[in-house]
A and B are shown apart, each in its own frame.
Chain A
Amino acid sequence: MAYVITDTISLTRRWLIHLRKDRMSLTLGIIQPLILLTLVGPLLDHVVEDTSEIQAFMAKRFRTDDYLSFLFSGIAVFTILVNSILGGIPIVFDRETGFMDKILASPVSRFSIVASRFLYVILYSLLQVAIISVVACLIGVRPASPLLALVTVVGYGALLCAGITVLSLALAFIFPHHSIFFAITGFLLSPLLVLSPTFVARESLPDWMALIAGFNPMTHAIEPIRVAFVGSELVPEQMLTSAVWLLVFDVVCFALAVRVIKRRLD
């Protein structure tokens, strides 16, 4: 057990060196969602302020007239989703270049190989969202409950990140080439984004889309975080339901991924 901890720390240090050397990726990863927020948010916010009828419509459909804060929860969760779903990429590259063989030829714990990347992706995603949140507040996002906002972003963000990351890692051990990995993850991202309450509340989606969105893990991360940002009336039971839903999702993802990864690493 002691080896598992030291091995995991050793391998995580490698990812931290990547982070230090590749600051460009972190910077762009922060700027990109902020661009979306600063362009789309104020655009709609402007429309809402100009027209009282539309404002009323937005209030009804979006459950708030502060669309910027409404949108932020969706964008924050989408950022976490993108990080998580692409979290396995360095593993794919390690397999392609033979670096993984070098690691596997050593006595390092197999669990640590996966755990180090898993921990790093979660920490990186939360760090990125934390920075985005601070900048978002500076450009006009006003969390209704700052403490609840922090708790929900970290809690629900981590729950979503865990399940998706572990699936991404399993994919990284299945597909030998990054082109296939990118094709599959790219294919998954669009429907996950559209079939979620990222841009509009679930109630505002067409019935069939709302039904599908109920099975989208993004939905169960966005809605509780949104409560903290726009102060809408999502009841604690619903927040708990989302947490349980994400936990079950994580358990299923872990069970699937462990099976796949174990077969590949043993």
Chain B
Amino acid sequence: MTPDAPQPSETPTATTTLEVTDLVKEYKGGLQAVKGISFTVHEGEIFAFLGPNGAGKTTTIRTIATLLRPTSGTVRVLGHDVVTEPDAVRASVGYVPQELALDRYLSGRQHMELSARLYRIPKDEATRRIDELLTLVGLSDRANDGIKKYSGGMKKRLDIACGLIHRPRLLILDEPTQGVDIQTRYKIWGFVANLRAQGTSILLTTHDMEEAEHLADRIAIIDHGTIQARGTRAELQASYGGEMVKVDLGQAELGDDDLAALQTLHGAESVERRGRSLLFATASARSLAPLVSVWLEQRLDGSPRSLSFGPPGLDDIFLKITGHGIRD
């Protein structure tokens, strides 16, 4: 899988909710945070932006949410352009920022009521939706409490509920589970999966590999303002070389000549050193693993500390594509 620019554009279809074409965002001072990215998100799809801090994820979603103007390129939500028809876009998009964006003087219900008024939902309908959403996020019994009394997880759930009040066709979640406990994390994953089942398109940013693996239908790996690769998890794994063999070398040292020799083993598509480990990309890990094991036993006068094989995880794919770990 190659960086975004050489890839053929995705063709929008009748079910396309979001269409981003050659988006560039340059800030004052010349910093180009997003460098010509293109992607689409379809109805009922969860599309995850996976990348480290500063990769351009938040700039991209803030542009989609009409909070930033693109320097060039186009962004369309349900066919509406973010620059020329911002209100139509805003009415279709729910935006939940990374930081908890709540008003410390308002109760949970007052937050929901304010959100309903911002989206001009008639009062009776708003009351019905607020009750429904508060139940969904498990805050019905605490709805009238001030948010000062809420835990971090409760605040995050409330924030997401506020973003859903107008039943958006596209929900944008910026790092939805950052800083929340495990229980809340699973609850949020549950809401997101339910929303997808109801046909809502979801664009989420994350630097949590497990979150992307667990939730996303398609993943875009973004780094330095460009999409380095995108596809389903299976497609990304295929781009890696299908499977991987991972060897823990312990204290053993291997030189560049050793790596070159390992590269020639039958079935090894690539080999790289990561810390104290060696990673092999291969079409068949089951065939390559015994060869690697034997070679290392001879070279190291003993077995390596551990050897595992199977399909690569997203972190392995990320490392191979970007050349660094997500938190480097």
Contacts and interface: CB of A to CB of B under 8 A. Distances in A.
Contacts of B117: 6-7, 10-11, 13, 108
A17 B114 CA distance: 11
A51 interface: no
A177 interface: no
Interface in A1-52: 3, 6-7, 10-11, 13-14, 17-18, 21-22
Contact of B118 (A98, A101, A108): A108
B103 A99 contact: yes
Contacts of B247: none
B105 A17 contact: yes
Interface in A68-116: 97-99, 101-108
B91 interface: yes
A14 B111 CA distance: 9
A245 B98 CA distance: 47
Nearest to B62: A101
Nearest to B94: A105
A105 B105 contact: no
B106 interface: yes
Contacts of B87: 107
Contacts of A3: 120
B146 A21 contact: yes
Contacts of B97: 98, 101-102
Contacts of A11: 117
Contacts of B114: 10, 13-14
Interface residues of B, number: 28
A105 B66 contact: yes
B120 A97 contact: no
Interface magnitude class on chain A: 20 to 34
Given A102-B97, A105-B65, A17 B118 contact: no
Given A107-B87, A108-B118, A102 B101 contact: yes
B254 interface: no
Contacts of B100: 97-98
A6 B101 contact: no
B162 interface: yes
Contacts of A21: 105, 146
A101 B101 contact: yes
Q: Is the interface of A mostly helix, strand, loop or mixed?
A: helix
B261 interface: no
Which of A97, A104, A106, A107 has its CB near the most chain B CB atoms (within 10 A)?
A: A106
Contacts of B93: 105
Contacts of A18: 105
Interface in B66-118: 66-67, 87, 90-91, 93, 95, 97-103, 105-106, 110, 114-115, 117-118
Given A105-B65, A105-B66, A98 B120 contact: no
Nearest to B92: A107
B27 interface: no
Contacts of B186: none
B101 A98 contact: yes
Given A3-B120, A6-B120, A106-B119, A101 B67 contact: yes
B99 A98 contact: yes
Contacts of B98: 98
Contact of A14 (B95, B99, B103, B119): B103
Interface of B: 62, 65-67, 87, 90-91, 93, 95, 97-103, 105-106, 110, 114-115, 117-120, 146, 162, 166
16 contacts: A10-B117, A11-B117, A17-B110, A98-B97, A98-B100, A99-B101, A102-B115, A102-B118, A103-B118, A104-B66, A105-B66, A106-B119, A107-B87, A107-B118, A108-B119, A108-B120
Given A10-B118, A103-B118, A107-B87, 12 more contacts: A6-B120, A7-B118, A17-B106, A101-B101, A105-B65, A105-B93, A106-B115, A106-B119, A107-B91, A107-B118, A108-B118, A108-B120
Top 4 closest A-B pairs, CB basis? Answer: A10-B117, A98-B101, A106-B118, A105-B95
